């Protein structure tokens, strides 16, 4: 049941403060932490400082490069003051950051670390800003911002285009939290390792909003590096990690790399078979894996991109609880998520939230509407009753959701045959372990239909065009031609700020390789 009494961030934070002197947030690098009481107190001080600084409700404040321990009270303070937060990932290009500044016109930019910007806008380091907030003595009344207030502008994770500014109302986020926590159930004993940027709506929800309301401890690690993640799990007793599939793939490669190459397929097969056994048997059988990664870790919450069935089976077989979810920045963000109490079919992405309406159009594209669907792409507005086209192809079974692929990733040939580029990429990387990453692109023909496939891959050593073409000839319709295969090593495929393949950028970067003799 959704609690109607929470309409704004003031009431949300008052509930969060109820966890008292318990540690809420910890930054591994600095060793600094905030209790629940201190986090809420500092958030209100930030809100008062923003109001006393003549920043008006609806004006924009950008956060870039701010660490999680500082990010949380600054973000919550903007919501209390009715100010619009514009969180930006430090991995964004200089050109993209500049375009966001020009589009949103922030009256204040709060930065962390060594971030340097070329802008006329007022810029302040987060440490200095929070120091001033802590010392603020002037009494400033904070009137709760209504849920209809614009709360933040997030960059969409566009794989085919320039990211857009997704405008979320405060109520979009809070309603999504209240519905999602009914399924994504975490308790006060959880220790959550936060490794994704808080400019990502998925991390904001699963790694901050819901855990704080539940009384969890959130531990921040700024670097996605295998050994540092393992050290953090062991030192702090981490029980849960919010991750994107690429991080699980990194874990999987690390686990298998410790085994002789000839034994790896056997271990993968055993893991796949064991996933039907009780979880304690799986953990006992693979106890060395759990001791190596950290015995306290039990749950992996996975979203932000598609999780391959092979990786899903592998980690379930090892004895980890995989909570798969699906959503977009435009849906604040969760549309569906799986529960710990119920088994999940491989490939499913969980139960659709109770406060959302969903359907598919004749093409199979998922449409959604409800209280967490965004207000529009900045600065435009959309009707709250309009169906939002997700761009994803899906199957709905009751309230369970299964994704088929990204509509824009479907390659259509003149023969009528269709392939999903992502499925071909998975086929290549799973059959050639030495290939780190691969991207499948279409060579366009008449009428916009594809006349063949172009494949770029990264591997230390040539795999051979004939071997890759032979694999695809076995699995794809005979009418589909592979026009070219190129190894791009040592180059790296471009990714979005949410670690998805940036297809348009890669197409532009590597297509010229296929014109060379």
What is residue 143's DSSP assignment? P
| pLDDT score at 400 | 93
Q: How far is CA 41 from the centre of its chain?
A: 28
Structure-block tokens of residue 494: 């471009």
Global pTM value: 0.86
Run means of pLDDT, 10 residues per run, the chain, 517 residues: 65 96 97 98 97 95 95 98 95 82 95 80 94 91 91 77 86 97 93 95 97 98 92 98 91 91 93 94 96 96 88 95 94 93 80 97 94 96 92 92 84 79 87 86 76 86 87 86 84 72 75 66
| Of 342, 374, 345, residue with least CA distance to 172 | 374
Q: Alpha-carbon distance 294 to 287, whole Å?
A: 10
| pLDDT score at 162 | 66
| pLDDT score at 343 | 67
Cα three-residue angle 179-184-187, rounded to 5 degrees: 115
What does the pLDDT look like over 224-233, one tens digit per residue?
899 999 999 9
Q: Alpha-carbon distance 165 to 163, whole Å?
A: 7
Q: How far is CA 187 from the centre of its chain?
A: 22
Structure-block tokens of residue 161: 């285009």
| Of 271, 276, 335, residue with least CA distance to 303 | 335
Beta bridge partners of 458: 437
Q: Alpha-carbon distance 298 to 458, whole Å?
A: 32
- For the chain, the first-to-last Cα distance in angstroms comes to 63
| pLDDT score at 159 | 45
- Give me the residue label for tokens 């981490």: 238
**What is the total residue count of the chain?**
517
Q: Where are the domains of the chain?
A: 413-515
Q: How far is CA 94 from the centre of its chain?
A: 21
| pLDDT score at 441 | 83
CATH number of 413-515: 3.30.300.30
| Of 217, 80, 103, residue with least CA distance to 154 | 103
| pLDDT score at 5 | 55
Side-chain half-sphere of 460: how many Cα atoms within 13 Å? 0
């Amino acid at each position: 049941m959704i609690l109607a009494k929470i309409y704004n961030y003031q009431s949300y934070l008052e509930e969060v403060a109820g966890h008292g002197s318990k540690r809420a947030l910890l930054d591994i690098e600095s060793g600094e932490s905030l209790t629940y009481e201190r986090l809420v107190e500092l958030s209100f001080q930030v809100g008062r400082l923003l109001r006393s600084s003549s920043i008006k409700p609806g004006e924009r404040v950008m956060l870039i490069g701010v660490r999680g321990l500082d990010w949380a009270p600054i973000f919550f303070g903007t919501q209390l003051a009715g100010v619009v937060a514009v969180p930006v990932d430090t991995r964004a290009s200089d050109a993209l950051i500049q375009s966001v500044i020009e589009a949103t016109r922030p009256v204040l930019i709060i930065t962390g670390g060594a971030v340097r910007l070329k802008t006329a806008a007022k810029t302040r380091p987060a440490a200095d800003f929070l120091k001033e907030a802590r010392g603020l003595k002037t009494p400033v009344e904070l009137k709760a911002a209504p849920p209809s207030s614009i709360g933040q502008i997030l960059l969409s994770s566009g794989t085919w285009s320039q990211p857009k500014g997704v405008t979320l109302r405060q109520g979009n986020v809070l309603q999504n939290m209240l519905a999602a926590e009914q399924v994504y159930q975490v308790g006060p004993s959880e220790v959550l390792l936060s490794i994704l940027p808080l400019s990502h709506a998925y991390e904001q929800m699963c790694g901050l909003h819901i855990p704080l309301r539940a009384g969890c401890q959130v531990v921040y690690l700024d670097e996605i590096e295998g050994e540092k993640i393992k050290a953090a799990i062991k030192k702090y007793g981490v029980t849960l990690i919010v991750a994107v599939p690429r991080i699980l793939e990194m874990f999987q490669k690390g686990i298998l790399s410790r085994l002789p190459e000839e034994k790896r397929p056997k271990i993968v097969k055993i893991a796949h078979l064991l996933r039907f056994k009780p979880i304690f048997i799986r953990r006992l059988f693979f106890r060395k894996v759990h001791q190596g990664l950290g015995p306290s870790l039990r749950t992996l919450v996975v979203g932000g991109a598609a999780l391959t069935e092979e990786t899903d089976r592998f980690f379930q077989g090892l004895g980890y609880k995989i909570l798969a979810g699906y959503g977009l920045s435009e849906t604040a963000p969760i549309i569906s998520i799986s529960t710990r109490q119920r088994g999940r079919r491989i490939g499913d992405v969980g139960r659709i939230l109770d406060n959302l309406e969903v359907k598919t159009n004749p093409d199979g594209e998922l449409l959604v509407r409800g209280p967490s669907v965004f207000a529009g792409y900045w600065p435009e507005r959309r009707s709250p009753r309009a169906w939002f086209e997700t761009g994803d192809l899906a199957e709905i079974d009751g309230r369970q959701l299964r994704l088929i692929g990204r509509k824009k990733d479907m390659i259509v040939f003149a023969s009528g045959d269709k392939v999903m580029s992502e499925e071909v990429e998975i086929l290549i990387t799973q059959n050639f372990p030495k290939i780190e990453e691969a991207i499948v692109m279409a060579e366009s023909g008449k009428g916009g239909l594809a006349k063949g496939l172009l494949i770029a891959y990264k591997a230390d050593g040539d795999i051979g065009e004939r071997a890759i073409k032979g694999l695809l000839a076995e699995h794809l319709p005979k009418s589909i031609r592979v026009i070219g295969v190129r190894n791009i090593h040592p180059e790296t495929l471009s990714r979005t700020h949410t670690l998805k393949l940036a297809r348009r950028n890669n197409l532009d970067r590597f297509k010229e390789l296929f014109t060379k003799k």
